Each structure stands twice: as structure tokens, then as C-alpha cells.
A and B are shown apart, each in its own frame.
Chain A
Amino acid sequence: DSGVTQTPKHLITATGQRVTLRCSPRSGDLSVYWYQQSLDQGLQFLIQYYNGEERAKGNILERFSAQQFPDLHSELNLSSLELGDSALYFCASSPEGNGAGEKLFFGSGTQLSVL
């Protein structure tokens, strides 16, 4: 068990809908990272938050947004969903995430299926 909790484990929804994925980092970790894993794109970095502030941004679509709350849990919001958004979404956490080469610990992921 990595200590990173993601909910829900599975999500099935329809095109055009909006969903929210939730992540609780390991105790004491201030940085949260979101990744998307799909068959055609592989593992793509989406965004990183550190203590409530955005620290790094990857190939995140404008339809997607994230935030980190004062209790350090994070949510990834996906809107106007398309079939191509079907993927496994991972959250990871690390203590600081400021370029010191910290190990990232991953949650078990949320499998999103858009029908």
C-alpha cells in the first residue's frame, strides 16, 4: 500500500458529462501529481500541485482542471467528456516536489470509461 488513496476506483459515464476524481496524498506529503494512462498516449503528466498552488503543468486539456485543498487532498475535474478521455487516471504524491529527485508514490488509479 503506497499510502495514496484515490476514489472512485471505477467510473462509467456518458459523453458530455462531468466527473470529479479525488486523491488523498500520503501523510505529510505536500505535492500531488496527476497522470493519465491511455493505450494511445501512454503515461502523460497532467499537473502538479504543491501545498495548494499549481507548480507544474503538462499536457492537460482546457476541459480538465484540478485543485488542491487546505487539507492537501486534490481533485481532478473532467468536463465535456469525450470517448477519448477514457483512461486510467493516477494520482501520486511526494513530500515537497521541488526538484530534489523525490520518489513519487502512486495511488491505485481511477479507471474512467466514457460511453
Chain B
Amino acid sequence: AQTVTQSQPEMSVQEAETVTLSCTYDTSENNYYLFWYKQPPSRQMILVIRQEAYKQQNATENRFSVNFQKAAKSFSLKISDSQLGDTAMYFCAFMIGYNTDKLIFGTGTRLQVFP
């Protein structure tokens, strides 16, 4: 069974600074996908970024980028130039690459951005 671990329950960062959220996962599969979702106080689940395991290049979406280390089964999220609106719960998620696109989520990291 696949598992996703987020070892940082809470983190904080000052506005305009950079912060990195950690995620590790466990799988015996070779074909899979990894995601980061953001859940602000509104509780809406918002997709931040997506990574395909067979691609070595790290995904980037504006201020958000990932450091994907397949051998180490690590998938961290870097937020650059943090903004107050980045305050949210961040969930790392794993998706197996066959039959279904269900997501397996980690426990989340609560990020607080301070002015």
C-alpha cells in the first residue's frame, strides 16, 4: 500500500521569504504522480502543482516549485516570495499510475505567513 508522510505539522515564514515543505512517500510502483494541494481557511482544496514520476525535471508553477527525488521518494514544495494569501494547510498527495486517479493524501502541514 502507498503511504504519504508529511513530518512538519506546522511551519511559519515571513512575507517575501522562501519556505520548503517536506513530503516523503512509499511505493513499490514505478509509474505514479505526485501533487501538492492547498487548503486555505475557506476549506476549498486547490491544486498547487503536479509532478509526473517519469519526468526528471522538477515542476514549477510561478512561485511554487518542487524538488522531486525519486530514489529517495521525496517530494518537497518550495514557496518563493511568500505572500499572506499562502497561509493555508498544504497536503502532499500520491496517485498511482494505473486504473484509477484516486489521491492518497498526507496529514498536511499548516503554513502561517507573517507580515
Contact = CB atoms under 8 A, between A and B. Distances in A.
Interface in A57-115: 58, 88, 90, 92, 94, 96-106, 108-109
Interface string A23-36: 00000000101000
B39 to A, nearest CB: 9
Given A94-B101, A99-B98, A101-B95, A42 B107 contact: yes
A11 interface: no
B45 interface: yes
Interface string B28-45: 000001010100001111
Contacts, number: 68
B107 A56 contact: no
Given A42-B107, A43-B91, A99 B43 contact: no
Interface residues of B, number: 26
Contact of A100 (B35, B45, B47, B101): B101
Q: Interface residue tally of chain A, by bracket?
A: 20 to 34
A101 B50 contact: yes
B102 A98 contact: no
Interface of A: 2, 31, 33, 42-43, 45, 48, 55-56, 58, 88, 90, 92, 94, 96-106, 108-109
Given A101-B97, A101-B101, A108-B43, 5 more contacts: A98-B101, A99-B98, A101-B50, A103-B35, A104-B47
29 contacts: A2-B44, A33-B101, A33-B102, A42-B105, A42-B106, A42-B108, A43-B91, A43-B108, A45-B103, A48-B100, A48-B101, A48-B102, A56-B100, A88-B43, A96-B101, A97-B101, A97-B102, A98-B99, A99-B97, A100-B101, A101-B52, A103-B50, A104-B47, A104-B101, A104-B103, A106-B44, A108-B42, A108-B43, A109-B44
